[in-house]
Structure 1
């Protein structure tokens, strides 16, 4: 299998371009606003925040429970691309169906959103795992950063187009803004489906000629998963990293999922929040590669620490935001590190896991990330409800919620300081020798 092939790297990276449209236009952009103002019209913002937080948590929990098993099965049957195809196109179809949900029908909207999010999160397990089929060790940081960078650019371009359509609804030929936003969900589904094609064409997955039958593949997957748990004592560095990642990526994902909702809760205009999201996207495009470049100079470990320090500042600063300009400063700061910390975490992990079990180990990686995403949004929703029950206003409750995210960055940073990459490589070498 040839690594570092330019066409394969391009195909792999384009999937980030494809599915990031869902992350921007739907998850972070229009869905939170439309869910509050159209599908949950007349409902208190505290309730809608809780519903949205619990929906994100439900999707993350479903994927989190199945991720390691799916990964082990995919490794044994060399089916990463098949699983990716299923989840990607399920997500694209469910997203497209949001355009048909009527006003006030929040249960159907939230159900379609959960299934679309499952498609997004589930596909990422196998997309992440395929990086070891595309890039060699020396190229992992760059290729991982390229994927996130293109994701910010692609997601930002479609989102900017959809925002322009919303702001110019009549020029676009729509009778009202609601219909434009509904059409944006359809555009995301089409974009996701079309730009996923290069990955399926250009990325080659190594074949396993020993196992072909689906039943055998499933059995082998469960057997391999059990062996991985038995090997924990030899890969302590991997699981220490996963613990650290569990906490700090929880903070990152929570800010991604709940930022727009938070802005609405503290009284900012929807238009200003959309501009802030666009700022984050287009700053994130060069910044993802920039932080990866910095990691190449000072080490990925130190670059991740810098990103964590910035996120800690964001979680405290966010609680005191009053105006749209202050929110824009927040957006700029997040854009500088959001893609970089995700890219460096993915490539850092890829260096300390067995290459021939990449889907399984990235199943654990994504399981940790998804269970973290269960805690974060639900935690904020719970804080909001608790503070409201104590008599605080919606504004104050939301500010308590965003500042509480700092706990995840503090704990994650402490645990990450205990991770030793060199020790992890030695453990991996020992495990390889022991399994011969």
Structure 2
């Protein structure tokens, strides 16, 4: 049977029905971003560190440093490093599992239910973090790993659904709206939870109780709003890759040979076939490599911003929280603005402009004088503007060169490779700090990631990649 191109399947849906599906799809960004901001970015790490410290040093005086360690599978771990190591384990686990998730997703008709299943597991783990009290750091570690791996798995399915909902000239705008709504949802719940934590005393709560309520709210938010895409999206028939097609290098791209064996039975075979024939799509792989470099720079800037602001600029915690909220709010508009720019000038060119902007942001951070909170907020505004746009347009640009019939598998590689290599920027940042004793040259060193990523992206022939993938050419690339 001839594969059904994504563009044909999209065109077969009435405009009104397609708009409703897109709105439902957007809501998953709104759902999971609340967990990412409230739990993953702001509250969990310091709370889990406090719980671990209480377990290692139960009689620690206020303001004192805990010199004891915890035993994790027989390995001594400092309480202050526990959350970082847990994040690393969750990241590596995702990098190993997500290709299998992608292979499974491409073999499942009811992708919306698969999305809901992964999100439900993650949301339950996130909400259960409210039960982490006293010295129960082990429970916190397990829940953080489960929630992180489930989030990554759900995003593979979610990103692959973009190709069902938007044609080649619509993907930039649709992707941008999803990212924008995610930033808005993350901003709203984070603002409410920070208000709860800062006003805990007036509400008759301890700070720890307020944090646990906030962690619970993020899990409930994630799970409840996931019902919207689960109920609002519709199932579509599978689109197998073209039989006997040839890749650009002349390698035969074998057809999928296990669909009759059921979803789980052929998953491993499908994954092996995808990895074997990925070399037949050099532009797809080159774009993925470029993304790994510049996205690593983006993630490291976000991770390092609080350290840089505290140590080099001398900001108080309340000022850092204000900056975080500002980034979230501005990123909402930034994603929409970049979506419009991509529609006018092309996605590849828009991403390249964003990398130039990131280079300027990093250079400005290096030169930012200490104690200038106003200038730091201006820098946070610039970060928010390019953050949402870079991520949203990168997703839609990659979607253009994903081979037909292996959408989720290639988005799994996108997600897994990002998670599996996101340590490189923080490693460079840490090494430069250790050698120089200052976060200023460390932040400046991240320019390398944007330059290398941009140079690789310049070499990507998007139209060739679209043709190799068997997709319809967009008007602008």
Q: 1:414 to 1:222 in 2, by over 3 A?
A: same
| Secondary structure, counterpart of 1:76 in structure 2 | coil
TM-superposed CA distance for 1:310, in Å, is 1.8
Q: What corresponds to 1:69 in structure 2?
A: 100
Instruction: Kindly report which structure 2 residues correspond to 1:86-125, keeping only aligned pairs within 5 A, or say none.
Output: 86-103=117-134, 106-125=137-156
Q: What corresponds to 2:282 in structure 1?
A: 236
Distance in 1 separating the partners of 2:192 and 2:273: 48
Q: What corresponds to 1:141 in structure 2?
A: 172
Q: What corresponds to 1:34 in structure 2?
A: 47
Query: How many residues were matched structurally?
Result: 421
Equivalent pair of 2:176/2:339 in contact (CA under 8 Å) = yes
Q: 1:227 to 1:38 in 2, by over 3 A?
A: closer
Which of 326, 335, 341 in structure 2 is aligned with 1:288? 335
The answer as to 2:160 corresponding to 1:129 is yes
Name which of structure 1's ranges 125-134 and 223-232 shifts more when overlaid on structure 2. Answer: 223-232
Q: Structure 1-normalised TM-score?
A: 0.87
Q: Deviations over 1:305-343 (max 9, x none)?
A: 111122223334334553333332221111001111111
TM-superposed CA distance for 1:15, in Å, is 0.3
TM-superposed CA distance for 1:193, in Å, is 0.6
Name which of structure 1's ranges 421-430 and 197-206 shifts more when overlaid on structure 2. Answer: 421-430
TM-superposed CA distance for 1:421, in Å, is 0.6
Q: What corresponds to 2:321 in structure 1?
A: 274
Bigger fraction of residues in helix: 1
Q: What corresponds to 1:56 in structure 2?
A: 87
Equivalent pair of 1:132/1:355 in contact (CA under 8 Å) = no
Q: What corresponds to 2:469 in structure 1?
A: 428
TM-superposed CA distance for 1:376, in Å, is 3.4
Q: What corresponds to 1:304 in structure 2?
A: 351
Q: What corresponds to 2:407 in structure 1?
A: 358
Q: 1:230 to 1:39 in 2, by over 3 A?
A: closer
Q: What corresponds to 1:176 in structure 2?
A: 206
**RMSD, matched Cα:** 3.0
Unaligned runs of 5+ in 2: 1-8, 55-64, 68-77, 241-256, 473-477
> Whose radius of gyration is greater, 1 or 2?
2
Q: Deviations over 1:101-142 (max 9, x none)?
A: 235655543442232222222211111011112222221111
Q: 1:320 to 1:97 in 2, by over 3 A?
A: farther
Q: What corresponds to 2:4 in structure 1?
A: none
Instruction: Kindly report which structure 2 residues correspond to 1:308-327, keeping only aligned pairs within 5 A, or say none.
Output: 308-321=355-368, 322-323=370-371, 324-327=373-376
Q: What corresponds to 2:22 in structure 1?
A: 9
Q: Structure 2-normalised TM-score?
A: 0.80
Distance in 2 separating the partners of 1:182 and 1:274: 18
Q: 1:138 to 1:429 in 2, by over 3 A?
A: same
Q: Deviations over 1:316-374 (max 9, x none)?
A: 43345533333322211110011111111111111112242211111111122111324
The answer as to 2:294 corresponding to 1:248 is yes
Q: What corresponds to 2:381 in structure 1?
A: 332
TM-superposed CA distance for 1:250, in Å, is 1.3
Q: What corresponds to 2:245 in structure 1?
A: none
Equivalent pair of 1:33/1:260 in contact (CA under 8 Å) = no
Q: What corresponds to 1:21 in structure 2?
A: 34
| Secondary structure, counterpart of 1:116 in structure 2 | helix
